[in-house]
Structure 1
Amino acid sequence: MNLIIRMNTFASTYKKYVFLLALIATCLYCHAQAATSGNTSETPKLPWASERNEIQQLVTHLRTLAANEKNPLLKRHFESVIRMSLDSTHRLRPEDKHLQAAVGTLSFFQGEGAKWETYLQGTRPLIMAFKSKADGKNSYYWLFLPKDFTSTKTNFPFYVELHGSGGGTNNPPWHMLYDYLQPKPAGATSQMSRREGFMIYPWGRGDKGYRDVAETDIFECLQDFDDQFKTDPKRQYLYGFSMGGGGTFRIAQKTMNRWAAVGLYSAALGKNVTYDDAAKFKDMPVWMVWGEKEWLNVENRKLKDDLLKAGVSLWWKEIEGVEHSYLGEYQERLMDWLKTKTK
């Protein structure tokens, strides 16, 4: 009898412990779920772009401009800004800083941004958006026209500049979309100001290193551009700074037949670059610059040595006393050097 009582007591105590452990496990799971949901790129508390009043006002004005525009490039520009303003394909939601920028962009389009002449002068880009064939998501690039642009001329040079990383700030489409379409012009890189030929500046899905779908994004930008314009096949140039320099090095290897020369400015190369990678450029002129004091100097020095060993036509400079900086003087030197190279 005592044994039965002890067994019943044990069973009752066991059930209490099992219940307590299950309760603790449930609490831990709920806590983990809450912490995980708080770290996702999509913040449920923020409305979608289409629900934000500032973006609605911008889109309404652009729809009016697009409906009345006869110039096909300018019309596509208006429609592209609409597409990317309302974008939900990336499952991202605009933050307050993007809304503030949208207000400035509306002001721009209420004035000079509505005029074709604005994009033929100065440093204003046309936005060219498209739906990616790779994953169905929206993407875009900036298009700068030559300063003496005419639709009948087909022998302009073509420049592609790959931007550096913004530490994740470029991942939402609105940052690069709005910041250069403001009443007050923002700073421009050298070729954006010189406008010696066509130039594109792809979004590349933001700060994703031009790898995987971000790499595909560049190929799709090139195809979209080629579908619209004919340029001089002997004067095609690819270059970039930091993340864009690393992207240039990798993408050039897959498109060697296109480029007359490439430029690597403080390239973020990674540690896996091999001599065989460098040797692929034996028939391609390469320009390299980096700062003596920057963290990328080890990889850039190694690549420089490998390029020289492989017999590549290389112009290079390690800038004494300089850290990671995209210096205007050397941007100009790069543009001057590229102009001397043809296929």
Structure 2
Amino acid sequence: MAELALLSLEQSLHEFNGDPARLYLTGVSMGGYGSWRLALKDPHRFAALVPICGGLDAPGRHSVSRNLDAATPVSEPFLEAARLLRHLPIWVFHGEEDPIIPVSESRILVRALQEVGAPMRYTEYPEVEHDSWDPAYAEPELMPWLLSHSRTS
């Protein structure tokens, strides 16, 4: 599916004369997982990444991230993902009270990105459940932040 999405993106860029240096990737919930996956599949294609209430499909993901606390070491799959994306500006959003995708899914990725020095931001909305995309996409700084990034190579 990821390959098909990237092929569709390439066709759309060609057909609509898009700017390949200004491709921004965002996704919500299952699409949040998809945005991480696409970014990892082609880490130099996008200018910025905005995953919302998503996570990483990685071996041991459920046993690691769902029980994450401040003392839990970040496991290798998350560090490897962070290393691959450490050049990419990323702004992660999640609702603290999300009953569908636990906030720990984002927290562990954020911790891994911080460990490798990635240019990232994290916004966790207190008392927000799964619909964190509403405040995220209404964030006044989001569009200027996105548009301030372009891929240089």
Q: TM-score range by the shorter chain?
A: 0.7 to 0.9
Superposition TM-score, scaled by structure 1 size: 0.36
Q: CA, structure 1 residues 316+329, in 2 after alignment: closer, same or farther (shift >3 Å)?
A: same
Mapped partners of 2:126, 2:12: distance in 1: 38
Partner of 1:308: 114
Mapped partners of 1:241, 1:315: distance in 2: 17
Q: CA, structure 1 residues 228+244, in 2 after alignment: closer, same or farther (shift >3 Å)?
A: same
Cα drift, residue 233 of structure 1: 2.8
Percent pairwise identity: 29
1:274 aligns with 2:78: yes
Letter of the 2:111 counterpart: D
Q: Is the CA contact (8 Å cut-off) linking 1:282 and 1:312 kept in structure 2?
A: yes
Partner of 1:329: 135
1:245 aligns with 2:32: yes
Q: Residues 154-209 of structure 1, C-alpha deviation per residue, up to 9 Å, x if partnerless?
A: xxxxxxxxxxxxxxxxxxxxxxxxxxxxxxxxxxxxxxxxxxxxxxxxxxxxxxxx
Superposition TM-score, scaled by structure 2 size: 0.76
Which 5+ residue runs of structure 2 have no aligned equivalent? 63-76
Which 5+ residue runs of structure 1 have no aligned equivalent? 1-213
Please report the RMSD computed on the Cα atoms of aligned residues, expressed in angstroms. 1.8
1:292 maps to which of 96, 106, 116: 96
Mapped partners of 1:216, 1:328: distance in 2: 29
Mapped partners of 2:147, 2:94: distance in 1: 21
Counterparts of residues 74-113 of structure 1 (less than 5 Å): none
Q: Is the CA contact (8 Å cut-off) linking 2:97 and 2:103 kept in structure 1?
A: yes
Aligned length: 130
Q: Is the CA contact (8 Å cut-off) linking 1:268 and 1:296 kept in structure 2?
A: no
Q: Is the CA contact (8 Å cut-off) linking 1:244 and 1:267 kept in structure 2?
A: yes
- Bigger Rg, structure 1 or 2: 1
Partner of 1:215: 2
Q: Is the CA contact (8 Å cut-off) linking 1:285 and 1:312 kept in structure 2?
A: yes
Letter of the 1:277 counterpart: A
Structure 2 SS opposite 1:315: strand
Q: CA, structure 1 residues 232+302, in 2 after alignment: closer, same or farther (shift >3 Å)?
A: same
